[in-house]
Amino acid sequence: MTKLLAPALLAASLLAAPALAQDTIRFAVTDIDGLEALQREMGPFKDAFEAASGLKVEFFPVSGRTVAVEAMAADQVDFVLTGPAEYVVFNARLDAQPVVTFKRPDYYSTVVVLDDSPIRTPEDLKGQKISFGEIGSTSQHLGPVDLLAKAGLGYAVDYEPVFLNRNVAIEALVAGEIAGIGVNRTHIESFAKKFPDVKLRVLLKGEQLPDDILLASAKVAPEVVETVRKTFAEQGEALLAAVTSVEENAKYVGGSFDAGVTDADYDVVRKMYQNIGITEFTQFIGQ
């Protein structure tokens, strides 16, 4: 009787084994502050992803990139959606790995000046003040600095970098207190709406930047990471529709997901860090 039961018990244990694997993933977004906002902005995505993947998503609210990386270090979060500059730090500190990119159409950096400004070439910015957006931002800081570096202007050598709120920066530009502003394409559109009488001219325009990225903790089981990656690859259309159903995620409208992303795709961001004198990527700029 015992010999007859043993194979049945073994079979039952093998069938039950998948239940022991991770079936809930803890998910954070670095630029969404608090649980209420996270539920509102990513709730439709959560529902669509759970239906497509068979995994459960548990939101882990954070108040920024530093909290997110500390949470991952403490094994409190498994997956984080963040920006390109932030990914480089997560990877350097925690060996976090890229899973899939959230592609943003027309995601590039610019340096703008007043349309009637005497500044006609990057060389004319020498000795001037240039305002950048959030310190450490890929598109508002590192990207514009990279454009200036490619034009031959050294960071904090040939010009003085300052960091002003975008609306304040426009007022400072009009007042002649700064000579240019480093922003991304969507901010130019925002300026046009908020300051219709201020005409800007794009002095420098960059190429498409590396996209926002969903990264995984090194502690997440490879099979779980593969399930997440496969879900985006096979159900991308439905997931994108869910993400972009919320107004706050309009930046992803017309985009897509790239599950073939590799760490090397972000070497261009590491080069941007080097433009401002950073060669170790374990700390966020300004923190």
Q: In 3D, which of 178, 176, 173 has the Cα closest to residue 161? A: 178
Q: What is the pLDDT of residue 21?
A: 55
Q: Is 23 helix (H, G, I), strand (E, B) or coil?
A: coil
* Superfamily for the 23-105+210-275 domain: Periplasmic binding protein-like II (3.40.190.10)
Q: Is 109-205 the same fold as 23-105+210-275?
A: yes
Q: Are 99 and 79 in contact (CB under 8 A)?
A: yes
Residue 256 burial (CB < 10 Å; 0-12/13-18/19+)? middle
- Give the pLDDT mean for 221-239: 97
Give the pLDDT band (50/70/90) at residue 171: very high
Q: In 3D, which of 248, 231, 247, 229 has the Cα closest to residue 239? A: 231
- Over residues 78-137, the pLDDT tens digits come to 999 999 999 999 999 999 999 999 999 999 999 999 999 999 999 999 999 999 988 999
Q: How far is CA 157 from the centre of its chain?
A: 28
pLDDT at 147 over 90: yes
Beta strands, E only, 30-118 = 56-59, 79-82, 97-102, 109-114
Give the pLDDT band (50/70/90) at residue 17: very low
- Give the pLDDT mean for 41-66: 97
**Which residues 6+ apart lie within 8 Å of 18 measured at CB?**
none
Q: In 3D, which of 107, 105, 117 has the Cα closest to residue 202? A: 117
- Which is it for the CA torsion 36, 28, 237, 234, positive or negative? negative
Lowest mean pLDDT among 1-10, 104-113, 230-239: 1-10
Q: What is the pLDDT of residue 287?
A: 63
Structure tokens at 182: 């480093």
- Give the pLDDT mean for 34-46: 97
- Give the pLDDT mean for 263-286: 93
Q: What is the pLDDT of residue 176?
A: 97
State percent of the chain over pLDDT 90.
87
Q: What is the pLDDT of residue 134?
A: 86
Q: Are 150 and 272 in contact (CB under 8 A)?
A: no
Q: What is the pLDDT of residue 209?
A: 96
Q: What is the pLDDT of residue 22?
A: 75
- Give the pLDDT mean for 130-155: 96
CATH for the stretch 109-205? 3.40.190.10
Domain ranges of the chain: 23-105+210-275, 109-205
Give the pLDDT band (50/70/90) at residue 286: confident
- Over residues 198-225, the pLDDT tens digits come to 999 999 999 999 999 999 999 999 999 9
Q: Structure pTM?
A: 0.87
